[in-house]
């Protein structure tokens, strides 16, 4: 099956700045894609190009195999949920949802049925007669979702849809959005700067940086095998050790850590590296294993350090360990493991990298 949306080498410039810089991306029928990146990375611009607000300076956007270059926003088979929700303040909730249906020339009877169906979908039955200013943030978010989905678009664009909600509500809503997406089978493209949100909801994540796609992959791939220093730092917590490549062969690289001449680490690396090249070793906090020293010198592959700070975060326990080199490593331990170790500030410990836990980054 051909992809629903094909973005082919699209560039969009604002003055000298390329907000979207030669981006190619595909969105499959029915998938949940998250476009993740820091603010100003061009993710919103790219989404607006898909919706038809603004034109690409070069490149093509195809939806359902059709070039969208001359198709205005009101004729595209996509709908958008705005960050501000953009509910029409002078219309009732019902009229808001029916607005797009009336533009499509739907009969009154069908319209009433569809509006009721959408209200049920977002669990807002009984709110049809309300005005937008009588709704809470969470309720207006639901109405905006219902309105955007009422026309049964092939692709729904969501621009930071949960930004206006408080944390608890945001987490609940994430699951609800996912459930709605599964139920309808509509492709969703979520634009967000919140990596937690992207990981929780999306089947596939495209990480964007400075107008370009830095990496695409499943949340697990992005998290476990970041392609670059930027992705590693942006998605989840990370320890980055400066290192120099010793050798590279068959996708396996060896690198020596800066400030620890005898510490050589070997790991998979997606792109070829040259010996002597500067690189970084990325280790997730939960892959840092901590053991008490017990007097003996550190085992091979372990670095000695001192606990400088601890934090109990409920299910997880964070320990910051200052190594001999001065580098501070963050380790995340599960609650029971931490309880067994009983770490406190000033303890002398050995830190090592758990099996399969490190990645040598190409850039």
Partner 1 sequence: MSGRPLYFRAGALIFGFAFLYAPILLLVIYSFNASRLVSVWGGFSTRWYQALWQNEALMDAASVSLRAALASGVIAAFLGTCAGLALARFGRFRGRAVFSSMIFAPIIAPEVIMGLSLLLAFVALDAPRGFWTIVCAHATAGMCFVAVIVRAKLESLDGCLEEAAMDLGAGPAAAFARITLPLAAPAVIAGFLLAFTLSLDDFVLASFVSGPGSTTLPMRIYSQVRLGVTPEINAASSLMIGFVAVSLAAGALAARLFRTR
Binding site for partner 1 (CB under 8 A): 51, 53, 72-75, 79-80, 82-84, 86, 88-90, 99-100, 103-104, 133, 147-148, 151
Minimum separation from the CB atom of position 143 to partner 1 (A): 12
Backbone Cα Rg of the chain = 25
Half-sphere exposure of 40 (CA within 13 A, CB side): 1
Which residue's CB is nearer to partner 1, number 82 or number 221? 82
What whole-number distance in Å separates Cα of residue 317 and Cα of residue 334? 6
Minimum separation from the CB atom of position 320 to partner 1 (A): 43
Minimum separation from the CB atom of position 47 to partner 1 (A): 11
Which residue's CB is nearer to partner 1, number 151 or number 209? 151
Which residue's CB is nearer to partner 1, number 13 or number 320? 13
Which residue's CB is nearer to partner 1, number 72 or number 300? 72
For the record, the structure tokens of 281 come out as 């070793």
Q: Are 357 and 265 in contact (CB under 8 A)?
A: no
Which residue's CB is nearer to partner 1, number 74 or number 315? 74
Minimum separation from the CB atom of position 71 to partner 1 (A): 12
Q: Count CB-CB contacts under 10 A for residue 90.
A: 9
Minimum separation from the CB atom of position 59 to partner 1 (A): 22
């Amino acid at each position: 099956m051909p992809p629903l949306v094909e973005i082919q080498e699209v560039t969009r410039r604002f003055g000298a700045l390329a907000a979207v810089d030669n981006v190619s991306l595909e969105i499959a029928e029915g998938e949940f894609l998250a476009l993740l990146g820091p603010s100003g990375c061009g993710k919103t611009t790219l989404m607006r190009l898909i919706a038809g607000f603004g034109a690409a300076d070069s490149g093509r956007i195809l939806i359902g195999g059709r070039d969208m270059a001359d198709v205005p926003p009101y004729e595209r088979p996509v709908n958008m949920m705005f960050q501000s929700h953009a509910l029409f303040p002078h219309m009732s909730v019902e009229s808001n949802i029916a607005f797009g249906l009336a533009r499509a020339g739907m009969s009154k009877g069908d319209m009433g049925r569809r509006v009721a169906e959408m209200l049920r979908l977002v669990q807002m039955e009984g709110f049809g007669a309300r005005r937008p200013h009588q709704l809470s943030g969470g309720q207006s978010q639901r109405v905006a979702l219902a309105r955007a989905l009422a026309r049964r678009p092939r692709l729904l664009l969501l621009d930071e849809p949960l930004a206006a909600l408080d944390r608890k509500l945001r987490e609940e809503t994430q699951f609800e959005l996912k459930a709605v997406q599964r139920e309808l089978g509509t492709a969703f493209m979520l634009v967000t700067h919140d990596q937690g949100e992207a990981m929780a909801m999306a089947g596939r994540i495209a990480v964007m940086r400075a107008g370009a796609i830095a990496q695409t992959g499943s949340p697990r791939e992005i998290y476990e095998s970041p392609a670059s220093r930027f992705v590693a730092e942006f998605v989840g917590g990370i320890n980055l050790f400066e290192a120099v490549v010793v050798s590279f062969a068959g996708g396996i690289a060896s690198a020596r850590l800066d400030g620890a001449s005898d510490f050589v680490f070997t790991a998979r690396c997606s792109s070829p590296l040259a010996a002597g090249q500067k690189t970084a070793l990325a280790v997730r906090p939960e892959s840092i294993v901590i053991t008490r020293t017990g007097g003996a010198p550190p085992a091979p592959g372990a670095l000695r350090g001192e606990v400088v700070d601890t934090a109990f975060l409920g299910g997880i326990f964070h320990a910051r360990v200052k190594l001999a080199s001065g580098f501070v490593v963050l380790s995340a331990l599960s609650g029971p493991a931490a309880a067994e170790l009983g770490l406190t500030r000033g303890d002398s410990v050995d830190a090592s990298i758990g099996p399969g836990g490190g990645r040598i980054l190409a850039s």
